[in-house]
């Protein structure tokens, strides 16, 4: 943060902040999603208990609740609404509150907003009968706090390796089968799954120092915490 130099107190439209990742949405942004200004296909959800980087504290933490963010562009962190060659925001008139608040020369306002009044899936989908109950059931059956508890206990008692492995691989199987079912039955396009159910469970386990390996129909959990 540099608030001493007046030449650094205006946006230079360089796109640097956008290239570091899309913003998280807050309840003030709900209308942008409901009106289709920011389509649900452009979003993904970090679920409660998921390991996450706290950019204000500058350390790893566990999400306290939903964090709904704009997806990157392809495999890049860069916000998908940034036009790369011109550094122009393609939704500038409808940009989220974090984008409107951020001043790279003085980060105090964005730091104050950072974890306040975040938008949740329930804010957007809580009145969609059937779908919301399915999301709640998925959250219960694929709960990150349970994974964290089990892996922490495993560090203390490695003899539970098989028991913990079976529990977590069952979660991964359910997560994968539900995603496949939603797409095959036409209930949701694949592009919306990361918003509805969060990122695939298997892709996020590295935050707990574990990963899933597959051989055909067999699943096996690998524990780097034990090595």
> Mean pLDDT in runs of 10 for the chain (227 residues)?
54 86 95 96 97 82 96 86 91 95 90 94 96 97 98 93 95 97 95 97 95 89 79
Residue 94: helix, strand or coil by DSSP?
helix
Check residue 74 and give its pLDDT.
Answer: 73
Do 174 and 142 meet the contact criterion of CB atoms below 8 Å apart? yes
Task: Indicate the pTM of the whole model.
Answer: 0.90
* Residue 180 CA: distances (Å) to CA of 144, 199, 215, 223: 21, 14, 19, 27
* Residue 119 CA: distances (Å) to CA of 36, 45, 213: 15, 10, 34
φ and ψ at residue 11, rounded to 5 degrees: -70, 130
Check residue 1 and give its pLDDT.
Answer: 43
Check residue 13 and give its pLDDT.
Answer: 81
* Separation between Cα atoms, residue 42 and residue 96, nearest integer Å: 13
């Amino acid at each position: 943060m540099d608030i001493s130099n007046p030449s650094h107190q205006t946006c230079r439209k360089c796109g640097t902040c956008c290239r570091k990742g899309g913003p998280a949405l807050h309840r003030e942004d709900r209308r942008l999603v409901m009106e289709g200004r920011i389509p649900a296909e452009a979003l993904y959800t970090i679920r409660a208990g998921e390991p996450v980087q706290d950019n204000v504290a500058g350390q790893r933490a566990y999400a306290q609740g939903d964090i709904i963010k704009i997806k990157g562009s392809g495999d890049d962190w860069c916000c998908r609404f940034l036009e790369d060659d011109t550094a122009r925001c393609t939704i500038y008139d409808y940009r989220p509150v974090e984008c409107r608040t951020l001043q790279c020369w003085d980060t105090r306002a964005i730091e104050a907003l950072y974890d306040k009044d975040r938008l949740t899936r329930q804010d957007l989908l809580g009145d969609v009968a059937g779908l919301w109950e399915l999301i709640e059931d998925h959250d219960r059956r694929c709960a990150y706090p349970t994974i964290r508890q089990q892996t922490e206990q495993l560090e203390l008692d490695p003899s539970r390796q098989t028991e913990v492995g079976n529990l977590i691989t069952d979660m991964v199987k359910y997560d994968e089968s539900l995603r496949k079912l939603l797409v095959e039955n036409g209930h949701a396009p694949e592009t919306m799954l990361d918003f509805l159910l969060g990122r695939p469970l298997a892709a996020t386990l590295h935050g707990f120092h574990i990963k899933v390996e597959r051989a055909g129909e067999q699943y096996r959990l690998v524990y780097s915490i034990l090595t």
